Structure 1
Amino acid sequence: MPLHSQRKLPLNATRTAYRTLQGWALGTLIEQGAVSECEHHGHRSDRADPDAWNRAREEAWRTAFPGATPEACMAALEEIRFSIGESCPDCRSD
C-alpha cells in the first residue's frame, strides 16, 4: 500500500458550477467572449461583439440553466447585457 494515497474526485460533480440564473448568464457571456473583465478593477464590460452575443444566445438556447426554460435563459442574458456598460467606470475616472 502506497504511503501517499490520493483521493480521487468524482467525475460528475453533484452541484452545478453556477448557483443562480444570473451567475450562469454572466458565465456564459464571458465564456463566449461577449463580456470581458477589467484587469485593474474587475468590472465587467460589453465587448460590443455581435458574433459573441449570438454565440452566447445559441449556447443559452441549447444548454439552458438547470431548472430554467430557454426563454428564461435568454431573458437573463438580455438583463445582463443592459446592466453593464461598454467600459470600466473606474478606468474612466483615473
Structure 2
Amino acid sequence: MKRQLKYRSGISSIEDGDYKTPRNNLCFSDSDFKPGDAEMSGSKRLLEDLEADRQWAESMLLDAGALKECELHGYLVDQMDSSAFEDAVLAGRQESSENEEAIRHKLQNVLNDYGDECPGCEANAAD
C-alpha cells in the first residue's frame, strides 16, 4: 500500500515498510496538518516566552528605578543608575528561581534596548 508523506520539500509516495526518507525533512504523515505547522507552534511558544521574560525584566527595572517612563511621551528611558540595576537584580532573585547570572543577563539585555534620552523629547528639541 502506498502512502503519501508530506515533506518540507514536497510530497513523496512510499511503500509501507519503506522508511528511507530524507533526513530532517519529514513534518507529518497525516493529511490533517500542513508542512511547517509543528515549527510554527514551537516558534510562537518561544516568542511568547521571550515576550513574557522581557515584560518581567521591564517591570523589575521600572520598580527599581533603573528605567523611567517619560512623562510627556511615555517612552522608557534608561536612568544610568547602577545601584538601581543592582536593586532590580536583587528583586529578580527573590521572584525568580533562576541564578543571578541569568537574571543579570535578562535585565541587561532589556536595559541595552533603551537610551538615556526620550526619542520624543529629542525630536521636539530638534524642531
TM-score, normalised by the number of residues in structure 1: 0.69
Q: Does 1:52 align with 2:84?
A: yes
One of 11, 15, 24 as aligned partner of 2:56: 24
What is the 5 A alignment of 1:1-94? 20-64=52-96, 69-70=98-99, 71-94=101-124
- Report the structure number with the largest CA radius of gyration: 2
* Root-mean-square deviation over aligned CA pairs: 1.6
Structure 1 runs (4+) deviating above 2 angstroms are 68-74
Q: Which has the higher contact order (CA 8 A, sep 6+)?
A: 1
Q: Which digits, 9 at most, give the CA deviation of each residue in 1:64-89, with x for residues without a partner?
A: 1xxx6234332210111110000101
TM-score, normalised by the number of residues in structure 2: 0.53
Which letter does structure 2 place at the counterpart of 1:25?
A
Distance in 2, Cα, partners of 1:56 & 1:89: 24
Give the fraction of aligned pairs with identical amino acids, expressed as a percent.
Answer: 29
Which letter does structure 2 place at the counterpart of 1:82?
N
Aligned residues: 73
Runs of 5+ unmatched residues, structure 1:
1-18
Which letter does structure 2 place at the counterpart of 1:21?
D
Which letter does structure 2 place at the counterpart of 1:74?
R
Question: What is aligned with 1:16?
Answer: none
